[in-house]
């Protein structure tokens, strides 16, 4: 009798599928995936792979992004209810209203957003290239940045630009407090604090490095430090340990868990692959063509601008 992992491997080969997993996924999913990474890295992978099927182990907007970038592929999300609450904090109608209030402004939309919002935007960005995307825009242009007020605040500070922000936030990252960082620093004074830009401003202000999840992995490769305090979703600790077994990683807060990221299991990955012959598969993520085409323009600009860091 084959194990779940063996069945996944067999079906993957049979259907020419590739399995992508975000850095916040449960450890066993990260270990089984063909590629792991941050939102930008996985978007690029999804658009460049010649696999016919992409199994996206992450949350809904990530699979939707892959479907927009790769219309010829079947994109599967093993759990359709794995959403991102921040992405759902803005609708296309709300963005249209905001655009009317700021005529002529350019819209930069964080990839953590619904396809309809991307379709209303000029540029998409991830936390890895948000600063570079905004930096690339003409200085005389007003910029609307949605939906994350904290990433937007970080970008405004780094680029010295006055952005129009939307009050969205990540319910997981706001759980990390200034006291969490202070306590961890008091316990491990030699540790470097790496913080995701979705964290609040007081947390960012006392952190040494503000980095996307992919940038954290890159930063450690060139750092002489042996200990790191990690202010992001706790799945990141697994990703960091896998690549750096000799370094020590301390989670800034054990409360920083994204329940949606943890909805993906090995069994659900297997069921999604088993269901592939079913034309109306419930795992299949699709985007209506008119929205897909408009959203793709903003996403194409995102994958073209690589982070300077
Ligand atoms: P990254 O782009 O850094 O992978 O982060 C995605 C995300 O959802 C953060 O909460
Ligand atoms: Fe969304 Fe936050 Fe989860 Fe990232 S960690 S997917 S922003 S809810």
For residue 10, the CA-to-ligand 2 centroid distance in Å is 31
d(CA 76, CA 199): 30
- Count other C-beta atoms under 10 Å from residue 6's C-beta: 11
Among all bound ligands, the one having the nearest atom to the CA of 21 is 1
Q: Is 22:42 a contact under the CB 8 Å cutoff?
A: yes
For residue 260, the CA-to-ligand 2 centroid distance in Å is 8
Closest ligand 2 atom to residue 87 Cα is: 1
For residue 104, the CA-to-ligand 2 centroid distance in Å is 30
Of all protein residues, the one whose alpha carbon is nearest to atom 9 of ligand 1 is 198
Among all bound ligands, the one having the nearest atom to the CA of 38 is 1
d(CA 234, CA 250): 9
Q: What pLDDT, on the 0 to 100 scale, is given for residue 305? A: 81
Closest ligand 2 atom to residue 85 Cα is: 8
Q: What pLDDT, on the 0 to 100 scale, is given for residue 309? A: 65
The set of protein residues with a Cβ atom below 6 angstroms from ligand 1 is 23, 38-39, 112, 126-128, 170, 198, 212-213
For residue 283, the CA-to-ligand 1 centroid distance in Å is 22
Our mutation pick for probing the ligand 2 site, out of 170, 230, 251, counting the most ligand atoms within 8 A of Cβ, is 170
Below-50 pLDDT ranges, the chain: none
Q: What pLDDT, on the 0 to 100 scale, is given for residue 297? A: 96
Q: What are the DSSP E strand ranges found in the chain?
A: 17-22, 35-37, 53-57, 74-76, 106-110, 123-125, 143-146, 164-165, 192-195, 209-210, 227-231, 248-251
d(CA 302, CA 309): 15
The set of protein residues with a Cβ atom below 6 angstroms from ligand 2 is 59, 84-86, 112, 170-173, 198, 233, 258, 260-261
Among all bound ligands, the one having the nearest atom to the CA of 171 is 2
The encoded tokens of residue 161 equal 């630009």
Rg (alpha carbons) of the chain, rounded to whole number = 19
For residue 191, the CA-to-ligand 1 centroid distance in Å is 22
For residue 213, the CA-to-ligand 1 centroid distance in Å is 6
Among all bound ligands, the one having the nearest atom to the CA of 259 is 2
Q: What pLDDT, on the 0 to 100 scale, is given for residue 303? A: 85
Closest ligand 1 atom to residue 38 Cα is: 4
Q: What pLDDT, on the 0 to 100 scale, is given for residue 306? A: 75
For residue 227, the CA-to-ligand 2 centroid distance in Å is 25
């Amino acid at each position: 009798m084959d194990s779940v992992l063996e069945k996944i491997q067999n079906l993957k080969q049979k259907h020419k599928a590739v399995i992508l997993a975000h850095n916040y996924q449960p450890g066993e999913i990260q270990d089984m995936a063909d590629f792991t990474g941050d939102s930008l890295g996985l978007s690029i992978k999804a658009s460049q792979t010649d696999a016919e099927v992409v199994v996206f182990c992450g949350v809904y907007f990530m699979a939707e992004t892959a479907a927009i970038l790769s219309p010829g592929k079947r994109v599967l999300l093993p759990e359709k209810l794995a959403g991102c609450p921040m992405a759902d904090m803005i609708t296309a109608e709300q963005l249209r209203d905001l655009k009317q209030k700021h005529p002529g402004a350019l819209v930069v939309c964080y990839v953590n957003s619904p396809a309809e919002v991307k379709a209303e935007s000029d540029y998409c960005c991830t936390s890895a290239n948000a600063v570079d995307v905004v930096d690339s825009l003409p200085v005389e242009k007003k910029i609307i940045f949605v939906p994350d007020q904290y990433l937007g605040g970080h970008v405004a500070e780094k680029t010295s630009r006055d952005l129009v922000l939307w009050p969205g936030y990540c319910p997981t990252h706001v759980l990390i407090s200034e006291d969490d960082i202070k306590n961890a620093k008091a316990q491990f004074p030699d540790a470097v604090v790496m913080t995701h830009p979705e964290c609040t401003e007081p947390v960012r202000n006392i952190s040494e490095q503000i980095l996307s999840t992919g940038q954290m992995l890159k930063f450690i490769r060139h750092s002489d430090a042996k200990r790191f305090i990690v202010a992001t979703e706790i799945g990141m600790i697994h990703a960091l340990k896998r690549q750096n077994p000799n370094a020590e990683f301390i989670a800034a807060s054990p409360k920083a868990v994204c329940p949606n990221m943890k909805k993906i299991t090995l069994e659900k990955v297997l069921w999604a692959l088993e269901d592939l012959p079913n034309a109306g598969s419930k795992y299949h993520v699709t985007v209506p063509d008119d929205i897909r085409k408009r959203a793709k323009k903003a996403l194409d600009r995102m994958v073209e601008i690589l982070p300077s860091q």
